[in-house]
Amino acid sequence: MGFLDAAPEEWGGLTRRKMWEREKLDLALPDISRVSFILEWLGSECLGWFTQDGMGGLRPISWGEMDAFARLTQTDFEPWEAEQLRKCSAGYVAGYNLGRQPMVVSPAYEDRPDDDPGVAVERRRVSEQMKSALSGLAKK
């Protein structure tokens, strides 16, 4: 999720999710229907996917924040649910930081990088930009 929500600086604010959807690429998201309630907690206004440090960097949700959320919403997390919340938050932050770099393989394709459709689209974009720049030089 974090990888898809990231926007490399060179892309002018275009997130990977928007680029992949525009190109009609498979987002390669796993089926999580059995534990979708965990994503609902993370997507809530109260908890969210991450917190930010004083410099605006993303940080995983802390155990203290999860405890406060549980107490205030009267949610009794099972230990495995709390662990999954923390892992999902940490994974989101790691994916987001990775996704801010151009020309990287999606975590969904890390075991088969040659199949990553996003990298193919990025290569095509770079190639088109180079062709455009070089054709402009050739006309001079």
Kindly report the number of other CB atoms within 10 A of residue 79's CB atom.
Answer: 7
Q: Which amino acid is at 102?
A: P
**Would you say 28 and 109 are in contact if contact means Cβ atoms under 8 Å apart?**
yes
* Reported confidence tier of residue 90, pLDDT bands at 50, 70, 90: very high
> Residue 121: how many CB atoms within 10 A of its CB?
16
Q: C-alpha angle 6/85/20, rounded to 5°?
A: 25
Cα 119 to Cα 137: distance, rounded to the nearest angstrom = 27
How far apart are the C-alpha atoms of 44 and 59, rounded to whole Å? 17
- What confidence tens digit (pLDDT) does each residue in 16-75 have? 889 888 888 877 777 777 777 777 777 766 688 899 998 989 999 999 999 998 898 898
pLDDT tens, residue by residue, 99-121: 999 888 888 888 888 888 888 88
- The answer for residues whose C-beta is within 8 angstroms of residue 97's C-beta and 6 or more apart is 2, 6, 58
Q: Is 122 helix (H, G, I), strand (E, B) or coil?
A: helix
